[in-house]
């Protein structure tokens, strides 16, 4: 009879002998490695889930938090065969009960789960590393596809949450796409092409030594679709959005921290950049009229301005988008929006900084056709040619935003197409008449009366503008969040 020690030693020896003669080698990828979660385990699980759905007869099904799709997985002790570069890889999912709970800082799951990868020894040097890289990449792709994208905001000011993140997030479910966006189709195609080139441009950016990022400046009157365009961009590229509320950021270093905590494949948005900056200047005592960032701090420290209030500076912002820190991740898109491009500091506009300036204009005829199709389902030939011609003639002069026009169309969407279009034509013509009359009044009423009226009008406009500038930063949830509200 063998004593237990000897039996154990013999088994070990056999095992070793067997392994040295075997043509295979094995790799264990356990779910928890020490105390940390093993990223590779999750990646393998996701990677195998794409082929498991076809191969397996008994599979585990999961749906992750923030995800709208189901993923398949190998169930306990199941196997799956994968091929990579002509080599065969056999995966086994191994689940064992954890023996007595050893002491640990955090409770470990009762089951010990892991994958075992079995490949031929001769294949190991050829594929192992590239295979694992391939798995990680595929898994990241699948994760991005499966997971709902997120809209982040820094509304908590500079404060961090318990895990040290300054950003708060909500699922991003804005339905705007390039199909629903009303703008000149050629311009739209150009922008989509640019985004596509950017997303597929890894090799180009590496070869040319450029940081893999791109800046877009969207400008135009309110209601022309700037925020909708950002949502469409995010939906097109499947990127997350970081909506940066500049008025909540107090120092340049805070700004840098926020940037460092953003992830790759994301769009970083600063809405109404002229308004956010206006507020900063007002606090630091330069008055509400002084638009544009203060460029008086060339070093970009900007921690404390002369009046003692903390503020961010133009150079701080430029460092944010352009400096060394802007490259601490890759695949970032910066988007600034403004209603008043003329108020921005030229330093922000110089070429290379914002790669593309996109003017969102009043509704043009080609944009109108897209709106008519989306809201009324109107196709070419649905209404008589004459009416379309009339629309084409008045639309440019009417200077109505796509937002105004969509309001009219929503109101009339239950009516017949013909009637809805006629209503819209009425509104456009009415607006045009009103404009003409105003103009005539200004020209005809000469002398003192006319002058008074003009001055009163101008004053009113100025007041209106100032009011808007004061209100907009306070609104906080402008733009994307405002748009998202209905969809949360």
Ligand X SMILES: Nc1ncnc2c1ncn2[C@@H]1O[C@H](COP(=O)(O)OP(=O)(O)OP(=O)(O)O)[C@@H](O)[C@H]1O
Q: Which residues bind ligand X (CB under 6 A)?
A: 180-183, 222-228, 339, 360, 402-403, 406, 479, 483
* CA–CA gap between residue 212 and residue 206 (Å, rounded): 8
Q: Which is nearer to ligand X, 41 or 178 (CB)?
A: 178
Q: Which is nearer to ligand X, 181 or 237 (CB)?
A: 181
Query: Least distance (Å) from Mg ion to the CB of residue 196?
Result: 24
| Span between the terminal Cα atoms of the chain, in Å | 72
* CA–CA gap between residue 371 and residue 101 (Å, rounded): 63
Q: Which is nearer to ligand X, 183 or 277 (CB)?
A: 183
Considering only residues 430 through 459, tell me which ones interact with Mg ion, judged by CB under 5 A.
none
Instruction: Give the Cβ contact number of residue 107 at 10 Å.
Output: 7
Cβ-proximal residues to 143 (8 Å cutoff; 6+ apart), any chain: 46
Q: Which is nearer to ligand X, 157 or 185 (CB)?
A: 185
CB-nearest residue to Mg ion: 227
User: What are the structure tokens assigned to 282, written together?
Assistant: 């007002």
Considering only residues 134 through 163, tell me which ones interact with Mg ion, judged by CB under 5 A.
none
Q: Which is nearer to ligand X, 40 or 420 (CB)?
A: 420
* CA–CA gap between residue 184 and residue 388 (Å, rounded): 17
341 binds, among ligand X, Mg ion, none (CB under 5 to 8 A by kind): none
Q: Which is nearer to ligand X, 43 or 408 (CB)?
A: 408
User: What are the structure tokens assigned to 158, written together?
Assistant: 């500079």
Residue 421's alpha-carbon distances to 74, 373, 386, 417, 425, in angstroms, are 56, 11, 12, 6, 6
* CA–CA gap between residue 225 and residue 362 (Å, rounded): 10
Stretch of residues binding Mg ion (CB under 5 A), selected from 38-46, 168-176, 225-233, 312-320? 225-233
Residue 449's alpha-carbon distances to 243, 245, 443, 456, 462, in angstroms, are 48, 45, 11, 11, 20
Distance of alpha carbon 201 from its chain centroid, rounded?
18
Query: Least distance (Å) from ligand X to the CB of residue 120?
Result: 57
479 near Mg ion, rule: CB under 5 A: yes
457 binds, among Mg ion, ligand X, none (CB under 5 to 8 A by kind): none
Residues 50, 130: contact at Cβ < 8 Å? no
User: What are the structure tokens assigned to 407, written together?
Assistant: 């309001």
Residues 348, 281: contact at Cβ < 8 Å? no
Query: Least distance (Å) from ligand X to the CB of residue 389?
Result: 23
Q: Which is nearer to ligand X, 174 or 250 (CB)?
A: 174
227 near Mg ion, rule: CB under 5 A: yes
Query: Least distance (Å) from ligand X to the CB of residue 299?
Result: 33
Q: Which is nearer to ligand X, 367 or 421 (CB)?
A: 367
75 binds, among ligand X, Mg ion, none (CB under 5 to 8 A by kind): none
User: What are the structure tokens assigned to 87, written together?
Assistant: 């080599």
Residue 341, burial from CB neighbour count under 10 angstroms (0-12, 13-18, 19+): middle
300 binds, among Mg ion, ligand X, none (CB under 5 to 8 A by kind): none
Query: Least distance (Å) from Mg ion to the CB of residue 215?
Result: 17
Query: Least distance (Å) from Mg ion to the CB of residue 479?
Result: 4
Query: Least distance (Å) from ligand X to the CB of residue 411?
Result: 14
CB-nearest residue to ligand X: 225
136 binds, among Mg ion, ligand X, none (CB under 5 to 8 A by kind): none
Query: Least distance (Å) from ligand X to the CB of residue 27?
Result: 51
Please identify which residue in the block is written with the tokens 């799951």: 109
276 binds, among ligand X, Mg ion, none (CB under 5 to 8 A by kind): none
- Binders of Mg ion: how many residues, by CB under 5 A? 3
Considering only residues 169 through 208, tell me which ones interact with Mg ion, judged by CB under 5 A.
none
Please identify which residue in the block is written with the tokens 């456009």: 428
* CA–CA gap between residue 276 and residue 258 (Å, rounded): 17
Query: Least distance (Å) from Mg ion to the CB of residue 117?
Result: 50
Q: Which is nearer to ligand X, 74 or 368 (CB)?
A: 368
Residues 80, 86: contact at Cβ < 8 Å? no
* CA–CA gap between residue 258 and residue 167 (Å, rounded): 8
Residues that bind Mg ion (CB under 5 A): 226-227, 479
């Amino acid at each position: 009879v063998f004593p237990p020690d000897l039996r154990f030693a013999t088994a070990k020896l056999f095992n070793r002998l067997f392994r040295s003669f075997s043509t295979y080698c094995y790799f264990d990828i356990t779910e928890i490695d020490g105390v940390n979660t093993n990223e590779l385990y999750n990646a393998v699980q996701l990677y195998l889930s794409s082929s498991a759905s076809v191969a397996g007869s008994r599979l585990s099904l999961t749906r992750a938090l923030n995800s709208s799709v189901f993923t398949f997985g190998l169930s306990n002790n199941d196997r799956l065969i994968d091929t990579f570069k002509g080599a065969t890889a056999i995966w086994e999912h191994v689940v064992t009960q954890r023996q007595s709970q050893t002491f640990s800082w955090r409770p470990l799951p009762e089951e010990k789960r892991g994958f075992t990868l079995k490949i031929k020894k001769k294949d190991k040097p050829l594929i192992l590393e590239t295979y694992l890289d391939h798995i990680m990449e595929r898994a990241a792709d699948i994760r991005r596809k499966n997971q709902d994208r997120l809209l982040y905001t820094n509304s908590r000011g500079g404060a961090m949450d318990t895990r040290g993140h300054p950003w708060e997030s909500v699922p991003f479910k804005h339905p705007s796409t390039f199909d629903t966006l009303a703008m000149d189709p050629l311009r739209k195609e150009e922008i989509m092409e640019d985004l596509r080139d950017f997303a597929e441009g890894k090799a180009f950016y590496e070869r040319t030594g450029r940081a893999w990022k791109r800046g877009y400046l969207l400008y135009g009157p309110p209601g022309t679709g700037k925020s909708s365009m950002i949502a469409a961009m995010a939906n097109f590229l499947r990127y997350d959005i970081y909506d940066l509320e500049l008025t909540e950021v107090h120092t340049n270093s805070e700004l840098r921290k926020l940037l460092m905590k953003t992830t790759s494949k994301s769009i970083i948005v600063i809405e109404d950049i002229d308004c956010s900056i206006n507020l900063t200047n007002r606090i630091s005592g330069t008055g509400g009229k002084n638009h544009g960032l203060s460029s008086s701090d060339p070093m970009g420290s900007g921690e404390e301005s002369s009046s003692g209030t903390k503020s961010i500076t133009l150079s701080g912002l430029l460092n944010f988008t352009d400096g060394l820190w802007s490259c601490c991740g890759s695949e970032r898109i910066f988007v600034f929006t403004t209603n008043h491009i003329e108020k921005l500091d030229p330093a922000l506009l110089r070429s290379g900084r914002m790669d593309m300036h996109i003017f969102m204009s009043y509704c043009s005829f080609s944009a109108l056709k897209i709106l008519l199709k989306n809201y009324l389902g109107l196709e070419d030939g649905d209404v008589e040619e004459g009416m379309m011609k009339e629309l084409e003639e008045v639309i440019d002069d009417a200077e109505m935003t796509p937002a105004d026009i969509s309001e009219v169309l929503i109101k009339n969407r239950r009516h017949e197409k013909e009637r809805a279009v006629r209503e819209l034509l009425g509104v456009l013509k009415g607006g045009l008449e009103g404009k003409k009359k105003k103009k005539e009044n200004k020209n005809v009423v000469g002398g003192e009366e006319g002058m008074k009226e003009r001055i009163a009008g101008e004053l009113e406009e100025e007041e209106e503008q100032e009011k808007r500038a004061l209100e907009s930063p306070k609104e906080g949830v402008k733009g994307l969040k405002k748009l998202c509200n209905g969809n949360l």
